Amino acid sequence: MHACDLCHQLVGEPSTVPPHENLAASGIGARSNRCKVDSRWRCTGCGAWMYQSTALGEPPNMWRMGRPPADLTESCG
């Protein structure tokens, strides 16, 4: 997968940085007790999945690029 420059630039940024213009909201990630761990975004330009982590995410409070989402089964810390 070849992510576009906009996606690459967002990786590693604090999650307080807003999503770039080509990212479409694609739901949230949450653990079994509904603790939200991230917001999921799909790039309409390159198709990359971007994850905007909360404090419970991994890494916390940061943007990362990842594989298409799978269900989380872990329990919250």
Q: Which residues bind Zn ion (CB under 5 A)?
A: 4, 7, 43, 45-46, 48
- 9: CB partners within 8 A, 6+ apart: 20
**Strand-pair category, 23-30 with 36-43:** antiparallel
By C-beta, is 56 or 65 nearer to Zn ion?
65
Q: Closest CB to Zn ion among 37 and 48?
A: 48
Shortest distance (Å) from residue 73 CB to Zn ion = 28
43 vs 62, which CB is nearer to Zn ion?
A: 43
43, two tokens: 């790039």
Report the alpha-carbon distance of residue 76 to residue 20 in Å, rounded.
29
- Minimum CB separation from Zn ion for residue 63, in Å? 12
